[in-house]
Amino acid sequence: MTRGVNSGTAFDVAIAGGGIVGAACALACAQRGMQVALVEADTLGSGATAAGMGHIVVMDDSEGQFALTRYSQQLWHSLAPTLPASAEYEQRGTLWIAADREEMDAAEKKCAWYSERSVPCELLTAAQLARIEPNLAGGLAGALLVPEDAVVYPPTVAFELARRAQQLGAQIFLGRAVRSIADGNVELEDGLQIVARRIVHALGADSTQLDPELPIRKRKGHLVITDRYPGFVHHQLVELGYLKSAHSTTGDSVAFNVQPRQTGQILIGSSRQFGAEHTETDPHIVNAMLARAVRYLPGIRALSAIRVWTGFRAATPDKLPLIGPDLRDPTVILATGHEGLGITTSLATAELVADHLTDRDSAIPATPYLPARYARAQSRQEEVYAMDWSHAGADHGIQ
Ligand SMILES: Cc1cc2nc3c(=O)[nH]c(=O)nc-3n(C[C@H](O)[C@H](O)[C@H](O)COP(=O)(O)OP(=O)(O)OC[C@H]3O[C@@H](n4cnc5c(N)ncnc54)[C@H](O)[C@@H]3O)c2cc1C
């Protein structure tokens, strides 16, 4: 038997998934006066949100990716002063490291592209780079500094956003798994049925468990964290070499991506793998990641690593998330598929979702993220999502 909740009244919106995206959606909707239900199978922020690096980064792979990351970064700037200290928000800036002349050319192009779009950035010579990050290897060509990029501890933020939503009246269902969502009904594994005018599907990499037709694949990532070494690095350090995809042999790839945590710990990333769906760490991937880190930061060899973990990104074929109505069920709004940028883009995603639900214009065009871009008519009555993964191997992600 199923039971209705909320005294038999429908919620305005029920959100499936309490990662940073679901939690941000819950707050944005509650702030607009909606009656919100948020359902999370585990604890808030326990999925990819807990596994991620927390680098809030403006990106330039496409105009759509730029618009979403930049808008969201600005929302983070506004949110940051109100976050608790445990969110560990710090505007560290990103240093895109150029190993050689070819990569310096890429840094210059990146700088011009950002400057045209009013993103502050600065090219650094090899000597300037060595002065601000003395632990970097010698012989590097220089770097691009993007000072407005930041670092945060994502699970704390997910919890904080959900807490604020709850203060505005949202009901939160924790430790309760969703079994199905359709036609304004969210059915939980325990039989509870939540009735809502609209449902936000924010299940991240688990999205296809509920809806196998979605154009989403799991992309595994590894991270290593060290003991505390305050001042070892000062910025988020990312190699520009990832543009060449030179370190990808079997479709797996690693890139040098290192982050200083407020605790003094160093977070070392990162790897990307399709088709590895087990949570165990893969020693050959960890070794490749660490070898890459040593190449850029030779002193890292002497630091103690205290933990290694894995997590799963929700990858789409065009590397843009799915944000907007599900063409097969008008009661469902998708907010998933954020791959390696879901911490960065969570706040903008929530605004787009809330704008859609309240019929408001958004600060940026919503079109690049609409799920309808994958629409393929199967028959006159029925539509499905078409999945063309032929471009997904080209690796232009960093996290
Ligand atoms: C190694 C790694 C590094 C990363 N680094 C960065 C970074 O530096 N910057 C950045 O912007 N992004 C980064 N990301 C990406 C980022 O972590 C994700 O894009 C983001 O966390 C996605 O948030 P989400 O809320 O969509 O998904 P999740 O956090 O996975 O949340 C989905 C939630 O749904 C819940 N759930 C699943 N099934 C059910 C069900 N049936 N019923 C109810 N609840 C359910 C899960 O328990 C989970 O809490 C990284 C990811 C990885 C793996």
Distance (Å) from CA 220 to ligand 1 centroid: 11
E-assigned strands of 211-344? Answer: 217-228, 236-239, 253-260, 265-274, 305-315, 322-326, 329-336
* Position 2 pLDDT exceeds 60: no
Neighbours of 46 (CB within 10 A): 17
Q: Which two tokens stand for residue 116?
A: 């045209």
Ligand 1 atom 17: residue of nearest CA = 52
> What is the Cα–Cα distance from 3 to 95, expressed in whole angstroms?
53
Q: Residue 57 Cα, ligand 1 centroid: separation in angstroms?
A: 16
pLDDT of residue 10: 86
Q: Is the pLDDT of residue 7 over 90?
A: no
Q: Is the CB of 247 under 6 A from ligand 1?
A: no
Q: Is the CB of 51 under 6 A from ligand 1?
A: yes
Q: Is 362 exposed, middle or buried (0-12, 13-18, 19+ CB in 10 A)?
A: middle
Strand intervals (E) in 41-168: 55-56, 94-98, 122-125, 142-146, 150-151
Q: What is the mean pLDDT of residues 289-307?
A: 97
pLDDT band at residue 241, thresholds of 50, 70 and 90?
A: confident
Cα atoms in the 13 Å half-sphere on the side-chain side of 393: 7
Ligand 1: nearest atom to the Cα of 45: 49
Q: What is the mean pLDDT of residues 142-170?
A: 98
Q: Indicate whether 246 pLDDT > 50.
A: no
Comparing 10 with 355, the larger pLDDT belongs to 355
Q: How confident is the model over 90-117, as pLDDT tens digits?
A: 999 999 999 999 999 999 999 999 999 9
For the Cβ of 155 lying below 6 angstroms from any atom of ligand 1, the answer is no
Q: How far apart are CA 331 and CA 184, in angstroms?
A: 6
d(CA 173, CA 179): 14
**Measured distance CA(278)–CA(310) in Å, rounded:** 9
The pLDDT value given to residue 251: 74
* Residue 380 pLDDT class (50, 70, 90 cuts): low
47 CB near ligand 1 (under 6 Å): yes
Nearest CA to ligand 1 atom 18: 342
What percent of the chain has pLDDT above 70? 92
Q: Quick one: what percent of the chain has pLDDT higher than 90?
A: 86
CA of 47 to the centre of ligand 1 (A): 5
